[in-house]
Chains A and B, each alone.
Chain A
Amino acid sequence: MGFTDLLSKYGAQYFQALLTTWRLTAISFAGAFIIGILITVARVSPIRPLRIFGDIYVQIFRNIPGAALLILLVYALPYLQIVFPYDVCVTVATILIPSAFCSEHLMSGMNTISPGQIEAARSLGLTFLQMIRRIIIPQALRSSVLPMTNLLVATMLTTSLASQVPMRPRDLTGIVSYINTHDTGGVTAFVISAVLYCLTAFAIGKAGSLVDRKVRILR
């Protein structure tokens, strides 16, 4: 099937799939970011159980394959009488995995802050939470824009997990496997999705380096 045939027959579905991938990416990244910050606060807090919990959390979700996590959520959790709809399972999986990487980036972003700043904050009488909120987090965020940009792209790639469950509407990967099993999409069907993925990644990368140039801390 040629490019024009494919677009006239499936164009609307591709558009829907692109929006689905974008939506999943945005929701997952936002969720991963919030959880990533919370886990990072736990990992640097003086509360030992929270530190250990944060470390274990990061190691689990950094190292578990996406497919294994999704299968656990979709097929194994119902045995514990915990049943989520497919799209919730996908979203949870695509939040949990990037959140671990987010915390790792924030940790290494924090490690660029010099001890002198902590000492200064302390001698000014800031409490721990004030210091975290006013000194640590802003700097950690500013120096981790580029890793976060990479994380956003990685999150987008992770959302292709959605093609592994019968979720509607389909995402960019799901639509290709649908077209190729029901029709003869051939190489072209893949190229369309691949180009849409790549353009999104390209736009994210450009936006990321723009933001980075604006907020980067020159040391």
Chain B
Amino acid sequence: MKTGSIRDYLYEPPGPHTRKRIRIITGIALLGLLVLLGLIVRQFSVTGQFDAKYWSFFTKWTTWRFLGQGLLTTLEAALTGSAISFTLGFLLMRGKFQGKLIRGISTFLIEFTRGVPTLLFIYFFFLVVPKTGWKPSAFWKITLPCAISACGVVAEALRSGVNAVPGGQREAALSLGLSERRTFYRIVFPQAFRFVIPSLIAELVIVLKDTTFAYVVSCADLMQNAKVLISNYDAMLSIYLVVAVIYILINYLLNTLSERIAGSQRRSVQMIPETNKGVAAHG
């Protein structure tokens, strides 16, 4: 999956003796994995989970339309949440380059949102916010906490991108007579933004995963619609498995896209390789 990595030069082409040993161990490993797979399949069939009644409704168009509707809400929440978190993150990042007071507040907010689990923000919007008189819809009750929880990481990613733009760029722009403001928006930030596109996509994945908690605020996302299907067809395992696979596939595609972009950036001229790693990596 990863080319040009340490996997490729860890060992030289094996000789005949080693080849034989590798073949034997490969056989044993393959056997072990097959036994594992067999045990899983056996457990499914012993408990009757392969029965047609648990799977036949997946051939119906309505099932997929219903799941698709949920998926659309999930994607809508993830994209809206990401857009908000990018905006908030941008403001916090700008705050980090301001005077002492604003910098202090920004640092505090960044560390706060990074250190508190998303679920706590969700419960805050679920339990406390409605009592203040403001009653956001279920969609916003899941989207806003996810956005807030991600904005600190986004701010740090953007900041590392800005710091990775060579100082000479800023100096050149300033000496050409551009104002500080124009220098930042015209010269520094466009370059920084390119560096951090992979981190931002990775962050989108994290927001998308966090929206799974939408069932807490009963927003009809993919997970919530899956629950409705389960009560309709009385098929818990098959539906949850399919839904989990849908989530995994979407996130896998997004992560692959992020890695592709990061890889092509590293190959192109004089990109600073360290900027795209590490900042926004966890879910």
Report the contact-size class of chain A (Cβ under 8 Å from the partner). Answer: 35 or more
User: Are B120 and A71 neighbours in the complex by a CB distance under 8 Å?
Assistant: no
User: Are B281 and A68 neighbours in the complex by a CB distance under 8 Å?
Assistant: no
Residue-wise, chain B 179-199 has the 8 Å CB interface mask toward A (1 for contact) of: 000000000000000000000
Q: Smallest Cβ distance from B12 to chain A, in angstroms?
A: 7
Residue of A nearest to B7 (CB): A44
Residue of A nearest to B208 (CB): A65
User: Are A60 and B123 neighbours in the complex by a CB distance under 8 Å?
Assistant: no
User: Are B236 and A76 neighbours in the complex by a CB distance under 8 Å?
Assistant: yes
User: Which residues of chain A are near B119, meaning CB under 8 Å?
Assistant: 160-161, 163-164, 173
Q: Smallest Cβ distance from A144 to chain B, in angstroms?
A: 9
User: Are B115 and A153 neighbours in the complex by a CB distance under 8 Å?
Assistant: yes
Partner of A76, one of B1, B6, B30, B237: B237
User: Which residues of chain A are near B277, meaning CB under 8 Å?
Assistant: 108
User: Which residues of chain B are near A108, meaning CB under 8 Å?
Assistant: 277
User: Which residues of chain B are near A193, meaning CB under 8 Å?
Assistant: 120
User: Are B10 and A75 neighbours in the complex by a CB distance under 8 Å?
Assistant: no
| A172 to B208 Cα, complex, angstroms | 23
Give chain A's interface secondary structure class: helix
Known: A76-B236, A154-B283, A202-B115. A68 touches B247 (CB 8 A): yes
Residue-wise, chain A 177-196 has the 8 Å CB interface mask toward B (1 for contact) of: 10011000011001001100
User: Which residues of chain B are near A51, meaning CB under 8 Å?
Assistant: 7
Report the contact-size class of chain B (Cβ under 8 Å from the partner). Answer: 35 or more
- A174-219 residues with Cβ-Cβ distance < 8 A to B are 176-177, 180-181, 186-187, 190, 193-194, 197-198, 200-202
Give chain B's interface secondary structure class: helix
Q: Smallest Cβ distance from A119 to chain B, in angstroms?
A: 8
User: Which residues of chain A are near B212, meaning CB under 8 Å?
Assistant: 65-68
User: Are A67 and B223 neighbours in the complex by a CB distance under 8 Å?
Assistant: yes
User: Are A197 and B247 neighbours in the complex by a CB distance under 8 Å?
Assistant: no
Q: Smallest Cβ distance from B44 to chain A, in angstroms?
A: 7
User: Are A173 and B22 neighbours in the complex by a CB distance under 8 Å?
Assistant: no
Interface centre among B33, B128, B131, B208 (most CB of A within 10 A): B128
User: Which residues of chain B are near A173, meaning CB under 8 Å?
Assistant: 117, 119-120, 123
User: Which residues of chain B are near A104, meaning CB under 8 Å?
Assistant: 281
| A108 to B223 Cα, complex, angstroms | 33
Q: A44-B10, A46-B11, A69-B244 are in contact. List 14 more A-B contacts (CB 8 A).
A: A47-B22, A51-B7, A63-B255, A65-B247, A68-B240, A68-B244, A72-B244, A79-B236, A122-B11, A122-B12, A160-B120, A164-B119, A173-B117, A202-B115
